[in-house]
Amino acid sequence: MDEVNIVEYDPRWQTLFTEEAERIWQALGNDLAKIIEPVVDGIAGAVKTSPVKHLDETGLRIGGKTNWLHVVSTETHTWYRVSPKRKDIEVLAHIKGVVVHDHWNPYYQLQDVNHALCNAHHLP
């Protein structure tokens, strides 16, 4: 007959496991961020210098708090950024060309661009 060991459940194990799992995920996230940083920078550069780009943003919840997913896309690239502020367009300050957007007023603060409005927001 096989021996079976029964271990009584202790809630401290769950706390220990949760803390360790969070530490591991944080370390993996930091390593991954370092690995993909050149790729993200390359995508950001490609969309900023593209002659035509589409801008949009949408709200999302992270850790129970509202954040904003900002998107700049071209025919070949899409750059995503998460920010706690909706009006976080300072990183777009030096873009040039045509920006297609949904008529959100802060986009009109971008200098040296031509504005085109996205018809998807105008059609019934």
pLDDT digits (tens, 9 = 90+) for 59-91: 999 888 999 999 999 999 999 989 999 988 887
pLDDT tens digits, one per residue of 41-59: 899 889 988 999 999 999 9
pTM confidence score: 0.69
User: Closest Cα to residue 69, out of 77, 96, 78?
Assistant: 78
Q: Taking a C-beta distance cutoff of 8 angstroms, is the pair 92, 109 a contact?
A: no
Question: Cα separation of 107 and 87, whole Å?
Answer: 9
The confidence score (pLDDT) of residue 14 equals 65
Question: Around Cβ 20, how many Cβ atoms within 10 Å?
Answer: 10
Both tokens assigned to 24: 């591991």
In a 3-state reduction of DSSP, which class is residue 45?
A: helix
Q: Write phi, then psi, for 32 (nearest 5 degrees).
A: -65, -40
